Amino acid sequence: MYKIKFGTDGWRAIIAKEYTVDNLLRVVLGTTAWLKQRTGSPSVILGHDCRFAGELFAECAAKVFAANGVKVYLAKGPVSTPMVSLGAFKQKTSLGIILTASHNPPSYAGFKLKGSFGGPLLPKEIQEVEDLIPDNNNVDIDSLQLEDFIQSGMVEYIDLEMMYVNHVEENFDMEAIRNSNMNFAFDAMYGSAQDVMRRLMPDIDFLHCEHNPGFNGTPPEPIHRNLQEFSDLIKLSDGEIDCGLATDGDGDRIGLYNSKGVFIDSHHIVLLLIKYLVEEKKQNGKVVISFSLSPKIQKMCEHYGLDYEVVKIGFKHIAGIMLEEDVLLGGEESGGIAIKGHIPERDGIWMGLVIWEYMVKSGKTLDELIEEVYKIVGAFKYERIDLHLKEEDKLRIVANCEKGVYTSFGDLEVRKVETVDGYKYFFDNDEWVMIRASGTEPVLRTYAGAETNEAAFKLLEKTHQTINKK
């Protein structure tokens, strides 16, 4: 019997191996049992991304929910995770469910749970659902007809894309963005944000905005190595494209490029967003970031007098605080960012539109806006290298971190260590490195921040030499 477990962000598994209709229906039955414990008239928003058999899986799930007394609002066609979260909030359903494996390779599918508040269901509740998943199911799926449930009103189609478009139009000066003298580009990475962006910004340059369930063999994670074609498109425009936006497979993570086709990491995006929200939107509130983000963000918070909190990696740790406190921005190094005025959910398109609005309203290039950030926090660059190691080597290095073995890396003396989620070592001149072990594979993630890319790579080189010796 295959044990279904929810990880950092839902259940993910390989299609046709562990991710089968039978196993999916076990999750549906567990979710149904949880809903019925909490309410007498449960309802769900249900959508799927662009992956193989998404529609089949969604319709099977809809039939079983409906057969067990759960009202289903079913999205027609692929939708992004933020659309489902917004739908759960606007429609006031008990849950939002999106069948997606996010940025995972194309062979994966997944199942994410969203709360009625419009963000990730909280860890305690996710665990409750997991505990109710049966070891098998006795559902005769072939005897259930979707049309019957549509006729009875237990399944109802919902246009989440239009709902999202209307929400954007209410919250942005879209006419100013569309009619500016700036040119933008968008790479959907074949993911589920492609159609909504065509509706919002029909005249920009589009890349990888076609149906391709295999993502052309590239995992839809918006990092530079997966976006070379997009970077080249911007470079070849010779300055005609002012800014490029990319989103991952389910549209909740952001990738960003300047007019030279240079990748702008999430550390810089977070800083830009804070500056715009405080200075131009006159907003304030707490900033909550994951441990792997740059300490430069703390410096900016101190500059504006904003509260600041560092949490473990995983957006669920941020979402819980956003529900309880007045949060201006919550962000992760992976490009998942949420801001005040929207739902407590990562949303790549929303963050991209905020940046584009900032550029248009200010009349400044992305590079000029980043220079203004540097005037506050100082210039910096960030690099990350994942080391694929034997499990015993990974465990040895982590044990050394725990025991305080690493007091220097080459000629760099450690001045301070933080251990919120991994190990972050601080040196002189605002330089730092971080070491964090993957919980799911024999990988050690190493991160570095310094004034230049060369200096950041040098930090990583010294770190790798030190940990390989001891």
pTM: 0.94
Q: Is residue 1 part of a domain?
A: no
Per residue in 181-234, pLDDT tens?
999 999 999 999 999 999 999 999 999 999 999 999 999 999 999 999 999 999
Task: Please compute the mean of the pLDDT values over residues 31-37 and round it to a whole number.
Answer: 97
> How many percent of the chain have pLDDT more than 90?
93
> How many percent of the chain have pLDDT more than 70?
99
Q: Is residue 3 part of a domain?
A: no
Written as one letter, the residue type at 446 is T
Q: Which of 284, 290, 282 is nearest to 330 (CA)?
A: 290
Q: So what's the pLDDT on residue 382?
A: 93
Domain identity same for 115 and 185: no
Domain identity same for 373 and 387: no
Domain identity same for 354 and 206: yes
Domain identity same for 341 and 252: yes
Q: Is residue 6 part of a domain?
A: no
Q: Three-state SS for 76?
A: coil
Residue 459 belongs to domain with CATH number: 3.30.310.50
Per residue in 72-115, pLDDT tens?
999 999 999 999 999 999 999 999 999 999 988 899 999 999 99
pLDDT of residue 470 exceeding 80, the answer is no
Structure tokens at 250: 């389910």
Residue 130 belongs to domain with CATH number: 3.40.120.10
Domain identity same for 184 and 153: no
Dist CA 466 CA 458 (whole Å) = 12
Domain boundary among 316, 351, 377: 377
- Show Cβ contacts of residue 166 under 8 Å, excluding neighbours closer than 6 positions: none
Dist CA 459 CA 448 (whole Å) = 7
Domain identity same for 149 and 228: no
The angle, 0 to 180 degrees and rounded to 10, between the axes of the packed helices 266-279 and 348-362 is: 60
Domain extent, residue 415, equals 381-469
Domain boundary among 330, 345, 377: 377
Q: So what's the pLDDT on residue 29?
A: 97
- Show Cβ contacts of residue 34 under 8 Å, excluding neighbours closer than 6 positions: 125, 128, 129, 132
Domain identity same for 199 and 281: yes
Domain identity same for 462 and 332: no
Tell me how many domains the chain contains. 3
Q: Is residue 232 part of a domain?
A: yes
Q: Is residue 4 part of a domain?
A: no
Q: Is residue 5 part of a domain?
A: no
Q: So what's the pLDDT on residue 440?
A: 63
Domain identity same for 391 and 347: no
Domain identity same for 140 and 261: no
Domain identity same for 224 and 350: yes
Q: With cut-offs at 50, 70 and 90, classify the pLDDT of residue 60.
A: very high
Per residue in 239-276, pLDDT tens?
999 999 999 999 999 999 999 999 999 999 999 999 99
Q: Is residue 273 part of a domain?
A: yes
Q: Is residue 2 part of a domain?
A: no
Domain identity same for 101 and 185: no
Domain boundary among 377, 409, 433: 377
